């Protein structure tokens, strides 16, 4: 940066402050600080939102006063440091701050940012970033990186049917390592081959080794300049497989590459200007008109950040608490739901795009909370190169030109009809409240008690229970698809019991907030992440987390070293379990401070968490297929065809090796290996959309099929084959 540019930026800051004071004499202002470059995407996104809101009359405060918005932009110094910029933002008396955009910049300046005592909205992607914030002032205003990598894995493995994937880590950045782990974990769960990641800096030998391995896809994780070097090397060597990299839009990747080399690259992103839903299309048009450039995901997150700040400013109370409590609203990125998502998270929307030679993007899929949605996605996308033949918003059939009907979702859903609905830790009003759902919110039901008067949902990373009373909720779907889940122990003592004392303000109070994942692979080491929070007023010191995991029980534990957790701090700990026995659904108690090392002032009553999970055999193949009438398919990859579709029925070559799981009240999610293995008893079965069937293959494997569409010409189904 030249001296003249530095002086210009400084004058611009002073001018902004002076103009703010002048304007305040006629109309009060709310100032929003932005930590970004002068022409950065965050700055442009915030400015567009500020201009539009001011043009519409500004912001009405909780007391009825009308305010205008003012952006206070501060850029890093020539060395890249934000120290002076943060000091200037503090002097400007802003109500909130948007930025910085990178995990490294946020972590390097975290103490100074939190010392501002203002909400900080950053698009930094690292999943662990929010755990470093003990003040709850940090908000991520777009989806965390794990969700974009999850989406990318789904498209590559499930949609494209690619299983031979090599993952390459090009540097030692923790955020890039986190991305590799998230992507490879999901890819393997979907059926990709398990291979050791390549951890190596760019070089000719790295490119040659990748070419010799000849994978169907290569996923790159690392700094943009390093990924650029490897991509150019692969393109020069005429590699024809898929190259995936999530930061293609970064100038250090994109601007140093011939346009033809961009064609066919895949990225998992939080948003794309190629989405065609109304909020995305209007934002893209407005942004282009205002800046002459196409917006990127950072700009969309900044724009949405201003919308959230304004929504919170219009309510009485403290701004940070208002942001956390905001009920879901629609932004550019889709649903913005701070009160529904884990603390500090704002969005859970991810898209997968294919980059085009001309510089554009083609949306292949969109996901909300890990579930595919067609909102904003063209119904069908056809590519012309890069190894992709046909990519659809719904799973693609293998080796067929027959159009595939969109799969119908099975299961049971609840829509809230009351103003608010409590989500509790168990089936009864005597259980603690985890949080609330709002009117018109719809959630998927994953289980319930025996008569379904209470239903289980996924809520903020753990299982929550909601009442199905018709005055509170409206149920839609097939009740038979919901498995029965045992209730956790009641927190209410009996009539003659003495209530357990609560922790005193001067002691620690340890609680498990959630445990995941909810699927444990049979006879396979599974890392369970246990989120623990200290809700007390003192440092905890070291403690032990332990549980007896069924079937077994198998006892497993992890020790948290001193000094443990500070007041209001939470952290994630990992317990590794290897479970065998019968597959199915289990509930196991997991206890923090298992050995009683921590003084909780008698408040140990909340130390045990009921972990509900499914134990199932690992999956070796899964996907979606369309089989024409009279044709068959080999599910396990060995021997001959395992199933044949003819005359509206699926028949099997194994003899009495097929069964209807739907007739047993099970759906695709609730069916597991052992229940299929113990139930197959027929040689053919009629199919209708929504039917779930179990199959034994000629190789002795077991599979589960969900019929998504069926007619005289073909059948479309989603399937998984167990190891």
338 pLDDT more than 50: yes
Where are the domains positioned within the chain?
3-143+276-325, 146-269+350-392, 412-481, 510-616, 619-722
Grade residue 692 by pLDDT with cuts at 50, 70 and 90.
very high
The pLDDT of 344-366, averaged and rounded, is 91
409 pLDDT more than 70: no
Residue with tokens 């209007």: 282
Cα–Cα distance, 446 to 448 (Å, whole number): 7
13 pLDDT more than 70: no
Residue 123: CA atoms inside 13 Å, Cβ hemisphere, count?
A: 27
Note the pLDDT of residue 562.
85
State the CB neighbour count (10 A cutoff) for residue 442: 12
Grade residue 503 by pLDDT with cuts at 50, 70 and 90.
low
What's the pLDDT tens digit per position in 95-132? 999 999 999 999 999 999 999 999 999 999 887 778 77
Q: What percent of the chain has pLDDT over 70?
A: 89
What's the pLDDT tens digit per position in 288-313? 999 888 999 999 999 999 999 999 99
46 to 123, 280, 302, 417, 437: CA distances (angstroms): 13, 16, 5, 35, 30
Note the pLDDT of residue 595.
77
Contact 305, 46 (CB under 8 A): yes
pTM: 0.54
Cα–Cα distance, 342 to 674 (Å, whole number): 34
H helices within 40-153, ranges in order?
A: 41-55, 83-91, 103-108, 110-115, 145-153
The pLDDT of 261-282, averaged and rounded, is 93
Instruction: Please name every residue paired with 31 in a beta bridge, in sequence order, or none if there are none.
Output: 70
What's the pLDDT tens digit per position in 522-547? 999 999 989 898 988 999 999 989 88
Domain spanning 146-269+350-392 has what CATH number? 3.40.50.2300
Note the pLDDT of residue 488.
78
Residue with tokens 């995941």: 516
Cα–Cα distance, 514 to 572 (Å, whole number): 9
Lowest mean pLDDT among 500-514, 581-595, 635-649: 500-514
The pLDDT of 617-631, averaged and rounded, is 87
- The fold of the 510-616 domain, in CATH, is Immunoglobulin-like (2.60.40)
Residue with tokens 């540019």: 5
Cα–Cα distance, 461 to 720 (Å, whole number): 25
226 pLDDT more than 90: yes
Note the pLDDT of residue 480.
67
Note the pLDDT of residue 504.
55
Note the pLDDT of residue 11.
36
Query: Residue 522 has which token pair?
Result: 């049979």
User: Residue 209: phi, psi to the nearest 5?
Assistant: -65, -40
Grade residue 400 by pLDDT with cuts at 50, 70 and 90.
very low
Note the pLDDT of residue 461.
58
395 pLDDT more than 60: no
User: Residue 14: phi, psi to the nearest 5?
Assistant: -60, -45
224 pLDDT more than 50: yes
Query: Residue 707 has which token pair?
Result: 């019929």
Instruction: Please name every residue paired with 350 in a beta bridge, in sequence order, or none if there are none.
Output: 367
Contact 393, 384 (CB under 8 A): no
Note the pLDDT of residue 439.
72
Note the pLDDT of residue 175.
86
Contact 283, 313 (CB under 8 A): no
Instruction: Name the 3-class secondary structure at 84.
Output: helix
Residue 316: CA atoms inside 13 Å, Cβ hemisphere, count?
A: 2
Note the pLDDT of residue 618.
92
The pLDDT of 460-475, averaged and rounded, is 82
Contact 24, 58 (CB under 8 A): no
Domain spanning 412-481 has what CATH number? 2.30.30.40
Please give the residue that has the higher pLDDT: either 637 or 406: 637
Cis upstream peptide for 551 (omega within 30°): yes
Grade residue 146 by pLDDT with cuts at 50, 70 and 90.
confident
689 pLDDT more than 70: yes
66 pLDDT more than 70: yes
Cα–Cα distance, 678 to 693 (Å, whole number): 13
Grade residue 460 by pLDDT with cuts at 50, 70 and 90.
low
- The fold of the 3-143+276-325 domain, in CATH, is Rossmann fold (3.40.50)
Grade residue 386 by pLDDT with cuts at 50, 70 and 90.
very low
Question: Exposed, middle or buried, 555 (CB in 10 Å: 0-12/13-18/19+)?
Answer: exposed
Rounded to the nearest integer, the mean pLDDT of the chain is 84
Cα–Cα distance, 599 to 683 (Å, whole number): 62
User: Residue 183: phi, psi to the nearest 5?
Assistant: -65, -50
Nearest Cα neighbor of 373 from 404, 407, 328 is: 407
User: Are 3-143+276-325 and 146-269+350-392 in the same CATH fold?
Assistant: yes
Instruction: Please name every residue paired with 436 in a beta bridge, in sequence order, or none if there are none.
Output: 422
DSSP string, 164-229: -EEEEE-S--HHHHHHHHHHHHHHHHTT----PPEE--S-HHHHHHHHHH--SEEEEES-HHHHHH
383 pLDDT more than 50: no
Cα–Cα distance, 232 to 226 (Å, whole number): 10
Please give the residue that has the higher pLDDT: either 501 or 434: 434
Compute the radius of gyration of the chain from its Cα atoms. 27
What's CA 245's distance to the chain center, in Å?
18
């Amino acid at each position: 940066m030249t001296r003249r540019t530095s002086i210009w930026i400084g004058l611009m800051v002073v001018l902004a402050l002076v103009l703010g004071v002048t304007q305040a004499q006629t109309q009060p202002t709310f100032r929003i600080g932005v930590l970004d470059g002068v022409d950065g995407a965050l700055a442009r996104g915030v400015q567009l939102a500020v201009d539009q809101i001011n043009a519409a009359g500004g912001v009405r405060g909780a007391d009825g006063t009308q305010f205008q918005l003012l952006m206070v932009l501060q850029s890093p110094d020539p060395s890249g440091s934000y120290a002076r910029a943060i000091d200037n933002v503090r002097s400007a008396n802003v109500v909130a701050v948007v930025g910085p955009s990178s995990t490294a910049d946020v972590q390097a300046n975290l103490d100074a940012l939190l010392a501002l005592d203002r909400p900080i909205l950053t698009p930094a992607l690292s999943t662990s970033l929010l755990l470093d914030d003990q003040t709850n002032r940090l908000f991520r205003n777009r989806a965390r990186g794990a969700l974009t990598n999850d989406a990318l894995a789904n498209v590559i493995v499930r949609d494209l049917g690619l299983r031979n994937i090599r993952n390459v880590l090009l540097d030692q950045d923790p955020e890039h390592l986190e991305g590799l782990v998230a992507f490879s974990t999901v890819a393997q769960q979907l059926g990709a081959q398990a291979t050791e990641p390549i951890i190596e800096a760019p070089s000719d030998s790295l490119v040659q080794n990748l070419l010799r391995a000849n994978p169907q896809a290569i996923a790159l994780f690392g700094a943009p300049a390093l990924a650029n070097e490897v991509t150019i090397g692969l393109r020069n060597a005429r590699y024809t497989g898929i190259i995936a990299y999530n930061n293609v839009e970064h100038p250090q990747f994109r601007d140093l590459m011939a346009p033809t080399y961009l064609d066919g690259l895949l990225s998992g992103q939080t948003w794309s200007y190629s989405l065609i839903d109304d909020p995305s299309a209007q934002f893209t048009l407005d942004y282009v008109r205002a800046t002459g450039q196409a917006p990127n995901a950072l700009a969309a997150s900044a724009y949405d950040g201003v919308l959230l700040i304004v929504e919170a400013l219009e309510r009485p109370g403290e701004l940070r608490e208002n942001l956390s409590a905001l009920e879901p609203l629609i932004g550019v990125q889709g649903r913005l739901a701070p009160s529904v998502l884990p603390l500090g998270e704002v969005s859970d929307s991810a898209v997968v795009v294919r980059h085009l030679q001309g510089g554009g993007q083609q949306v292949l899929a969109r996901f909300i909370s890990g579930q595919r949605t067609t909102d904003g996605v063209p119904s069908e996308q056809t590519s012309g190169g890069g190894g992709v033949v046909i990519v659809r918003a719904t799973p693609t059939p293998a080796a067929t030109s027959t159009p595939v009907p969109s799969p119908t979702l099975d299961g049971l859903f609840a829509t809230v009809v009351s103003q608010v609905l409590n989500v509790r830790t168990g089936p009864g009003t005597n259980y603690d409240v985890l949080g609330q759902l709002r009117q018109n919110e719809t959630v998927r039901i994953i289980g319930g008690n025996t008569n379904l008067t209470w239903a289980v949902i996924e809520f903020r990373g753990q299982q929550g229970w909601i009442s199905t009373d018709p005055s509170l909720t409206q149920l839609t779907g097939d009740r038979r698809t919901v498995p029965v889940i045992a209730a956790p122990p009641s927190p209410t003592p009996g009539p003659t019991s003495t209530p357990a004392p609560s922790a005193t303000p001067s002691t620690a109070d340890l609680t498990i907030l959630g445990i995941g994942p909810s699927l444990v692979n049979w006879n396979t080491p599974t890392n369970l992440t246990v989120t623990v929070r200290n809700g007390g007023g003192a440092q905890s010191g070291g403690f032990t987390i332990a549980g007896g995991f069924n079937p077994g029980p198998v006892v497993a534990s992890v020790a948290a070293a001193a000094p443990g957790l500070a007041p209001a701090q939470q952290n994630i700990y990992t317990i590794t379990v290897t479970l065998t026995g019968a597959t199915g659904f289990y509930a196991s108690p997991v206890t923090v401070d298992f050995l009683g090392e921590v003084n909780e002032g008698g408040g140990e009553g909340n130390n045990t968490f009921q972990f509900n999970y499914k134990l199932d055999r690992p999956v070796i193949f899964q996907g979606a297929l369309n089989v024409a009438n009279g044709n068959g398919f080999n599910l396990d990859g060995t021997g001959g065809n395992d199933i044949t579709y003819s005359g509206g029925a699926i028949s099997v070559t194994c003899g009495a090796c097929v069964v209807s799981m739907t007739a047993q009240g099970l759906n695709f999610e609730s069916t597991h290996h052992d229940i299929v293995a113990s139930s197959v008893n027929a040689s053919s079965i009629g199919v209708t959309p929504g039917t779930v069937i179990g199959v034994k293959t000629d190789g002795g494997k077991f599979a589960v099929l969900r019929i998504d569409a069926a007619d005289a010409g073909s059948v479309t189904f989603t399937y998984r084959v167990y190891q």
